[in-house]
Amino acid sequence: MIQPDPDTLNALVGKMLNDLGGAFSVPTVRIGLRLGLFNSLHSEGPATSSALAKRLGLAERYVREWAMAQAANGYLKFEPATEQFSLSPEQAMIFAVKDSPVYLEGAFDLAAAMIEGQHKVEEGFRTGDGVTWGDSAGCLFCAVGAFFRPGYVNSIAQAWLPALEGMVPRLEAGAKVADVGCGVGFSTLLMAEAFPNSRFFGYDFHQPSIEQANAHAAAHGVSERVRFATAMAKDIAETDFDLITMFDCLHDMGDPRGCAEHMRTLLKEDGAWMIVEPIAGDSPADNIGNPVSRLYYNASTMICVPTSLAQEVGEALGAQAGERKLTQVLTDAGFSQVRRATEGPFNMVLEARV
């Protein structure tokens, strides 16, 4: 038997302690977000645990232990001389500023949802069956929407749509847009707000998501030019779209090739399909050793692959499919032009044209 190297073992144990510290922080961070503890420190300034508890009508002993946990996490600042806790500007961007590109409330909710759904995915390991989207946890679709929203707020109108050839002028003049796999509608509504002369059609196969999307549209006062409907991607009947968008969902589909073939029939001859997918290299080795792929592979194991396997065909591309494989899916469906229009730290944006 090969004996473990002590230095390698100690380094691995140290890494595991850091990882477990992050895992243990999930429920305490969620409590801080739900009860307004982070927001109070951001909006009302530094406070002792007693003052913070009084602000929010909470029990001081719980607040004191919570605050010390967040200080130990590095999520709050602690001043020993005054016993005050505070949020730095950088910490506030993660825990309090909802439109910050790195606001992570949704990430902590998503981690909790994956734990909640563990037993169903575990059974899939034994049977090979999938787990239907929305069935693995109480509000997985809410957590996914919240997780992606900050990136969409800061990227869709500012970087992703402008990267498509000639598309922004069409949207400004008045285009017809389909947002397929729209979830709770954040992406659709952001585009609608940025381009008030265009019409938007959001489609998703998950009825509770569409119900939330319609409620969001009504709250934003855009229902007259934004329509949401429950539909499988391959069953969409509306045609003549200037633009089709898919945000972080093509790899979740059971039949992405059949979906791609159908998208081609829905576009105008000079239309474009924008596919936003998790960023990944083309070989598994390219995706080892970086924190983004680590997140995506784990999420893909618990969400993306089970979701695809629960549908017809069940190709299960996974969240780290890579540009080469995705491009092959698109070209096989009849798209003659496929290019990476732009990218960011978490996503790549492909543009496909017939």
- pTM for this structure? 0.94
At 137 the pLDDT is 83
Neighbours of 56 (CB within 10 A): 14
DSSP track, 209-264: HHHHHHHHHHHHT-TTTEEEEE--GGG-----EEEEEEES-GGG-S-HHHHHHHHH
6-95, CATH topology level:
Arc Repressor Mutant, subunit A (1.10.10)
At 86 the pLDDT is 98
Encoded tokens for 169 = 């002028």
At 138 the pLDDT is 80
Mean pLDDT per block of 10 residues along the chain (354 residues) reads 94 96 97 98 98 98 98 98 98 98 96 96 97 88 93 97 98 98 96 98 96 94 95 97 98 98 98 98 93 96 97 97 98 97 96 97
Residue 267's DSSP bridge partners are: 241
Kindly report the backbone phi and psi dihedral angles of residue 277, in degrees, each rounded to the nearest multiple of 5, phi listed first. -135, 155
Element spanning 268, H or E: strand 267-278
At 136 the pLDDT is 82
CB 329 within 8 A of CB 260: yes
What one-letter code names the amino acid at 337?
Answer: Q
Start-end of H helices in the chain = 6-34, 37-44, 49-56, 60-73, 89-95, 105-116, 118-127, 140-155, 167-173, 186-194, 207-220, 256-266, 291-299, 305-309, 323-332
DSSP track, 274-304: EEEEE---SSGGGGSS-HHHHHHHHHIIIII
Kindly report the backbone phi and psi dihedral angles of residue 271, in degrees, each rounded to the nearest multiple of 5, phi listed first. -80, 175
CA distance 271 to 86: 50
At 1 the pLDDT is 84
Helix (H, G, I), strand (E, B) or coil at 84: strand
Architecture of domain 105-353: 3-Layer(aba) Sandwich (3.40)
CA distance 252 to 319: 8
Location of each CATH 1.10.10.10 domain in the chain: 6-95
Strands 176-180 and 241-247, how do they pair? parallel
Location of each CATH 3.40.50.150 domain in the chain: 105-353
Of the chain, the end-to-end C-alpha distance in Å amounts to 59
Residue 17's DSSP bridge partners are: none
